Chain A
Amino acid sequence: MKHVQIIQKPCIKSGNHTACGECQASCQSACKTSCTVANQKCAKEEK
């Protein structure tokens, strides 16, 4: 492509292999007031 550079391919995971629910609750990580999930990790692989 001439005018666009791909930095990140589609990455939001959906489907039956997701939603295990084992990941950390976002509010428990550091913030305790301004929750976000952008900086959370999927726990499926590491656990």
Chain B
Amino acid sequence: MIHAFRFQDLNVLLDVESGAIHTLDDAAFAVVQALESGKDAYSIGVKNETVAEVIADLNELRENGAYEAEAGNAPEVTGGTAIKSMCLHVAHDCNLRCRYCFASTGDFHGARMLMTPETGRRALDFLIQRSGTRKHLEVDLFGGEPLMNWDVCKQLVAYGRELERKHGKVIHFTITTNCVALDDEKIDFINREMHNVVISLDGRKEVHDALRPTVNGKGSFDIILRNAQKLVATRGDREYYIRGTFTRNNLDFLEDVKALTGYGFHQISIEPVVLPEESPYSLKEEHLLRIDREYDALAEYYVNARKGRDTWFNYFHFMFDPEGGPCLRKRINGCGAGTEYIAVTPDGDLYPCHQFVGMSEWKLGNLDSPDLRTDLQKSFLGCNVCTKEICRNCWAKYYCSGGCMANAVLYGGALEHPHEISCHLMRKRTECAIGAYVKER
């Protein structure tokens, strides 16, 4: 399978199974498109001699496994179904009332509550017990807003460090926060202990404040920006992301990326909101062309900005490193929800991931009971880009890895039915990522 597409002034050819990337001149692009659509390449208005040259070039690529390559065999992962990654819901409460929040402003459609240290320690014990031979584990301190349960966050990091020493593991702690409750003591701790920090900030003040009020109904932009800038300024080279959301209200989200770079941030991730169609903020099919154009404009801005030392920034979905990218097994299996990845609620319930929390039919178990629902785990294990028909035939399958399982259930109707709007956006972002990579070569 191949995918040929235009990116700015380039004709780009991706060979799906091998990951090889080529650029084509206009004649070759026309010939490839003709061949893909089953047309006679000698009848498309390109000189016969040129068509023959292009076909010779394609044959040479084919002989080198870089054009219409066969699918490789993905080995089973070492360690079986070990759990390596945990989303720890230390707070089912939040100090913001974001109008697009998937977690029902932090309570996940249940009671507002905080995780106790005991539950948190049992969760970490569970992770260690279930991690098998995996050395590197991940724990994301999540909510709601995790800073609302700060003492427990610190206790759990300390306990995690004990477990590392005792069991020979390495735990990468991360935190996903809105920064509202951040202060100097928390910044010091986060910068010392957190492998990555995900900061939620949407971009322009008016965009952010329109949808992200505090509990008292005031805008949260000013305090978040001030605290986030302080955290990032003292973070050195350690990882962070400014993670924003765009809705139908700001389809011109390039302006939000520009705003974020203007605030001094260099690691940016602006994500499309995923909501029921009837939501006043949801993205619908009628918005897709507009969003495509915005991604094109963002890609152009991104490529140009990265030429300058002072203007350089990273955009999460345009990051693309083919040589250092994941192996085929990872590309096929994706996020690992329900198998490698698990979410733990304040009352110890276990879910396939944070997005499934509160959906009782998807509850895997509880820390009180040692056994997880193996029927659900089998469903997740058996759901990948090779088994899902819509993914199997998609050129972007090894870059998307099948998409978000929870979005599939919530908006696609079943685990096996990816959310179509998300698929469209993923394909567009992948084209931009590959195109930007080619431009930077």
Contacts from A to B (Cβ < 8 Å): 1-16, 18-45, 47
Contacts and interface: CB of A to CB of B under 8 A. Distances in A.
B236 interface: no
A4 B20 CA distance: 12
Given A19-B327, A41-B326, A33 B102 contact: yes
A12 B72 contact: yes
Contacts of B325: 11-12, 37-38, 40-42
Nearest to B79: A21
B269 A30 contact: yes
B78 A20 contact: yes
6 contacts: A9-B64, A14-B329, A19-B327, A23-B326, A25-B336, A30-B198
Nearest to B80: A21
B327 A28 contact: no
B305 interface: no
A18 B66 CA distance: 20
B209 to A, nearest CB: 21
Interface of B: 13, 15, 17-25, 27-28, 50, 53-54, 57-58, 60-61, 64-66, 69, 72-79, 82, 84-85, 87, 102, 134-136, 138, 140, 172, 174, 176, 196, 198, 241, 243, 269, 271-272, 274, 316-331, 334-337, 340-341, 353-355, 398-401, 403-404, 407, 422, 425-426, 429-430, 433, 437-438, 441
A45 to B, nearest CB: 8
B340 A21 contact: yes
B324 A41 contact: yes
Given A3-B54, A10-B20, A37 B272 contact: no
Contact of A31 (B22, B53, B271, B328): B271
Given A1-B57, A25-B336, 15 more contacts: A2-B57, A5-B23, A8-B322, A10-B20, A10-B65, A16-B75, A18-B329, A32-B354, A37-B330, A37-B331, A40-B326, A41-B324, A42-B326, A43-B136, A47-B136
Contacts of B74: 14, 18-19
A26 B329 contact: no
A36 B354 contact: no
A35 to B, nearest CB: 4
B111 to A, nearest CB: 22
Contacts of A21: 77-79, 82, 84, 134, 340
Nearest to B136: A22
Given A11-B323, A36-B401, A23 B72 contact: no
**Dominant secondary structure of chain A at its interface with chain B:** loop
A16 to B, nearest CB: 6
Given A30-B198, A39-B319, A41-B321, A6 B22 contact: yes
Contacts of A23: 326, 330
Contacts of A43: 136
A22 B336 CA distance: 12
Contact of B335 (A5, A13, A27): A27
A12 B28 CA distance: 24
B368 to A, nearest CB: 25
Contacts of B318: 39
B138 A35 contact: no
A32 B274 CA distance: 11
Contacts of A24: 85, 138, 172
Contacts of B324: 41-42, 45
Contacts of B61: 1, 4, 6
Contacts of A26: 334-336, 401
A36 B425 CA distance: 11
B32 to A, nearest CB: 9
A39 B392 CA distance: 20
B25 A3 contact: yes
A43 B321 CA distance: 13
Contacts of A12: 17-19, 72, 325, 327-328, 331, 398
Which of A20, A27, A45 counts the most B-chain CB atoms under 10 A from its CB? A27
A19 B75 contact: yes
A42 B135 CA distance: 15
Contacts of B321: 39, 41
